[in-house]
Structure 1
Amino acid sequence: MEPAAGGFSEEQFREACAELQQPALAGADWQLLVETLGISIYRLLDQQTGLYEYKVFGILEDCPPALLADVYLDLDYRKQWDQYVKEVYEKECNGETVVYWEVKYPFPMSNRDYVYLRQRQELEMEGQKIYVILAQSTSMPQFAEKPGVIRVKQYKQSLAIESDGKKGSKEWSS
């Protein structure tokens, strides 16, 4: 699951924008997991791995798109409100910004950690500014696995945010 050198392609950013315009749930057994406060969360079971893929669609009425994108990327702020963050930081490696994130899990489960590339682009589609953030697991020798912590090696995320036409944001995340 390692991105090509140089990070993500322009096509990957455009695909995230396209899904914001027309969510792709057809053709697979996506299950609606929860729908509340204008947010819908779907999941799809991968039969081979037993893991789930998630898609989130919704509108945040009082949060402008630029602010939502900034908050999403702000790891220091995340530490303030997310009680499950044990450790999270960014580090420059080979010209790329790499995120290390360890998540606390309750006993008897083991903590999980992630090492991933993350990039943000602002694109324009049909006259609308769209903020796109892509993330994908990577392997870097600077981030050795820790004993007792399970390394998540198949992490990937696409997030696209645009204005809802008022004061809020329309969002899609996978």
Structure 2
Amino acid sequence: MALAFGDGDFERARRELDEPELEGWELFTETMGVKIYRLHDGETGLYEYKVLGVLDSCAPELCADVYMDLAYRKQWDGYVKELYEQDFEGQKTIYWEVKYPFPMSNRDYVYVRERRDLSVGDGRKVWVVLARSSPDAPCAEKSGVIRVKDYKQSLAIETDGGSGLKVFMNYFDNPGGMIPTWLVNWAAKSGVPAFLTDMQKACRKYSDYCQKK
């Protein structure tokens, strides 16, 4: 299997932490010290999102560790129905089923991801995590669960110079099925800040979690 990501993919995410590419993007909402931008995708009618800002009281390396820890994610993310990692042709592939509110069907994802801790001079360090759907991975679809086949996410974080972190996130998925517009808007406007809040709480509790393992 070819490598999922190249050096240029990581460098692109790192650059956007400094100088986000926002031409054509609209400011969707601002909350919790972060701004959420969106870009309409003419082919799908959906939006791609970028999240920029600062999160207080969360060190970047700790945040990256929490973000990568799938077992811990099942502890703190109430939307996770199933989440595990498997090996496919020498590459780690993740299966993730997400709970959707009744009467909608749950969605599941099969994707690859990679983390790199980049040193970019003068002692500066940036943590980058990339993920994208992996439709070739042999993971059978479940009855009653809709497979998300078009998904990508990139995350770049570094210290804000204090006790928090500076964050850039780029996100798109096509959930398929008939998703009401109000739910899509809610997920972006309310769901993203809620996820960031949960992440901050998870970071604070991670040390205790690791000691109990």
TM-score by length of structure 2 reads 0.76
Q: Distance in 1 between matches of 2:145 and 2:121?
A: 45
- Cα offset, 1:171, TM superposition: 0.6
Q: Distance in 2 between matches of 1:98 and 1:158?
A: 16
Query: Partner of 1:20 in structure 2?
Result: 17
- Describe the superposition over 1:72-108 as per-residue Cα deviations: whole angstroms up to 9, x where unpaired: 1111221112211110111121111111100011122
Q: Give yes or no for the alignment of 1:153 onto 2:127.
A: no
Percent identity (aligned): 57
Report the residue type matching 2:2 in the other structure: A
- Cα offset, 1:149, TM superposition: 1.0
Structure 1, unpaired ranges of 5+: none
- Cα offset, 1:40, TM superposition: 1.2
- Cα offset, 1:152, TM superposition: 0.8
Query: Partner of 1:123 in structure 2?
Result: 118
Greater RCO between the two (CA within 8 Å, min separation 6)? 1
Question: Per residue, is there more helix in 1 or in 2?
Answer: 2
Q: Distance in 2 between matches of 1:83 and 1:65?
A: 23
- Describe the superposition over 1:95-131 as per-residue Cα deviations: whole angstroms up to 9, x where unpaired: 1111110001112211111000000001122431000
From 64, 83, 96, the equivalent of 2:59 is: 64
Question: Per residue, is there more strand in 1 or in 2?
Answer: 1
- Cα offset, 1:18, TM superposition: 0.6
From 69, 77, 82, the equivalent of 2:77 is: 82
Report the residue type matching 2:148 in the other structure: V
Q: Could you list the structure 1 runs, at least 4 aligned residues long, displaced by more than 4 angstroms after superposition.
A: none
- Give the number of aligned pairs: 169
CA RMSD of superposed structures (Å): 1.3
Structure 2, unpaired ranges of 5+: 171-213
